[in-house]
Structure 1
């Protein structure tokens, strides 16, 4: 299999490795957004509740281990590197190491399945920042030194749908046998400002690309798991109350379901590929506390990150690029080398980012 690509970069959000990392990490996450110190202190407590260690780091390494094995099984001999937006290993350092290893043409797999600013365009900004740092180091334009192509959105891949459906089924099987048929399926994804969602996607399609993608993915997974009905709610909002974000929140929705005497509940975090802090805090901690207070039986479906089908999906995305099967804007995830998302991909304009 001949190709110009010589490496893979798994690009993620990052998370602290210990208590001393928490505050610097959060300052990286919120840089340029004018977030008040007291808000950072509040969020820091979430991490400190788990010893200051974000599970995302270990989970990403697990994904990478499975990916390396999957590439080997497929006969694809490419090294896999790991970089982050907000914590070590930072993408700037990883791309510099790749260059030193004489890697010049990399495929970038983001740990977000979605379109929109946070799910797609911001990853292009990360790539651009790394290439700019490479340029500063070597005195040449970064795009002359390396090519980095972001892989396409993958929320609609059948492997994702099948893995998610099986996670839902496993959660249903953990409910008492006589209550499984009554279970209400609730999908969650990360909330974003309503204005950012409106700005996402081609204007001719009315924007709202991110929420439309999450809704479509939820429909597919619910049908595959055998549910005729489901709810879509949001979690992890961090903005000031005067700025509208996607609603309802999962905890508020649990209150609504309990008031309607609808139980039990299966919560599926479809918006996340692994059980990182926003899953284990917002769902396994806060939502569980609300459900217990309401005497509402709740089971949480697992995420897909180390499901063999998720690995197969990544390998398939890589293989398509190696064979030149995905060469248009959509196939490339909209563009490469950190360029602005192309028309027709996911962002009509960069939204403003309100303070958390």
Structure 2
């Protein structure tokens, strides 16, 4: 096809991420950004930030985003896709509003957004869209006309996202002692969220127990477990488990927690566990602390051998998947027929978030959706 690498009508891609501190002095201001409006005292934020201080006050997420930026730019250049890639964060520099201002000053008029969250949920999708709306409003107050913004679909089941995680699980299994390998359990981990938020995740027709959030993770876990069985001949037992809970104890969140799960597997006689963080794009702080520090310490107490498989990060296959998603969305916007890539039983996600998709408790404007006030 002559326009196979045609990204029009888009003239830029924005990598939108969470952000993280890059030194000890950044930790509390960063957490103040994350928790703004909740009235959490500074002393409490210092306590919450202890896991950052264990790593010198530096979250790895910004360096991981820089690596992903390089991978995307390299992939686009190698394949002749002329699309500049920008980067903005929700909670730390480079801030989203500043990056959107750069896009305006560079003359960009229609922008695609890649969020570093692969699944449907309020915190993983709509909150990003709310931050985009806030940035648009801020620029308009300055007298600037922001570009039109669209968000790439959820990519949790794109082959370029799933395949690197599958290989990570296979490598972790191979790293176990041979006598433990075939009996190892697979613990697919993701961020715990309140059950009420999970139940309303995704479009309204997907709402229900666990909503789209749980359904999508279970689908990816099944795809990976099936692929591991096909490549090794071993059917490993597996379960979706959760980590990184941060809410008040009286509010129900998704369970079981990974540390509780390790205790259960040990009590049941599992010889080993591979922890596969399928809910995360990169090895950022919640992976390094909640799995590599807390969960591994728990496994050490139990005498349970564990391995932790890698996230996708800046894997070239993920960069190629982003290119595919960009071209898919661009072709659809031009009215061309597209066949989206997706593994598993759920099929490709929607291009445009529908009304009441992952609703907030208190409604706020959100960009890049059917209910967006911004065309």
The question of a shared fold, defined as TM-score above 0.5 by the shorter chain, is answered with: yes
Compared CA separation, residues 171 and 256, structure 1 to 2 (3 A) = same
How far off its partner does 1:54 sit? 0.4
- Do residues 350 (structure 1) and 351 (structure 2) align? no
CA distance in 1, matches of 2:349, 2:136: 18
1:281-335 deviations in Å (ceiling 9; x for gaps): 000000011001110000000001122211111110011123236979x989554
* Structure 2 residue corresponding to 1:218, chosen from 213, 216, 221: 221
Match of 1:63 in 2: 68
How far off its partner does 1:5 sit? 0.9
Tell me, yes or no, if the aligned pair for 2:28 and 2:42 is still in contact at 8 Å: no
Match of 2:368 in 1: none
1:65-109 deviations in Å (ceiling 9; x for gaps): 001011112211111110000000000000001111111111110
1:250-281 deviations in Å (ceiling 9; x for gaps): 01111111111212110000000100000000
Tell me, yes or no, if the aligned pair for 1:187 and 1:230 is still in contact at 8 Å: yes
* Structure 1 residue corresponding to 2:271, chosen from 258, 263, 278: 263
Q: Unpaired segments of 5 or more residues in structure 2?
A: 230-234, 339-346, 364-375
Tell me, yes or no, if the aligned pair for 2:122 and 2:360 is still in contact at 8 Å: yes
CA distance in 2, matches of 1:21, 1:92: 19
Match of 1:193 in 2: 194
Compared CA separation, residues 334 and 320, structure 1 to 2 (3 A) = closer
CA distance in 1, matches of 2:349, 2:166: 27
- Number of corresponding residues: 341
Match of 1:114 in 2: 119
Moved more, 246-255 or 257-266: 257-266
Paired residue secondary structure (2:142): helix
CA distance in 2, matches of 1:15, 1:205: 32
Runs of 4+ in structure 1 deviating by more than 4 angstroms, as ranges, are: 325-328, 330-334
Compared CA separation, residues 44 and 115, structure 1 to 2 (3 A) = same
Compared CA separation, residues 326 and 186, structure 1 to 2 (3 A) = farther
CA distance in 2, matches of 1:30, 1:291: 31
Compared CA separation, residues 152 and 177, structure 1 to 2 (3 A) = same
Match of 1:173 in 2: 174
Match of 1:128 in 2: 133
Paired residue secondary structure (1:10): strand
Match of 2:94 in 1: 89
CA distance in 1, matches of 2:350, 2:48: 32
Match of 1:320 in 2: 328
Match of 2:31 in 1: 26
Compared CA separation, residues 241 and 326, structure 1 to 2 (3 A) = farther
* Structure 2 residue corresponding to 1:243, chosen from 251, 259, 264: 251
Paired residue secondary structure (1:196): helix
Compared CA separation, residues 311 and 224, structure 1 to 2 (3 A) = same
Paired residue secondary structure (2:13): strand
Match of 1:48 in 2: 53
Compared CA separation, residues 38 and 192, structure 1 to 2 (3 A) = farther
Tell me, yes or no, if the aligned pair for 2:9 and 2:334 is still in contact at 8 Å: no
CA distance in 2, matches of 1:260, 1:124: 43
CA distance in 2, matches of 1:97, 1:34: 32
Match of 1:309 in 2: 317
Q: Unpaired segments of 5 or more residues in structure 1?
A: 336-340
Match of 2:164 in 1: 163
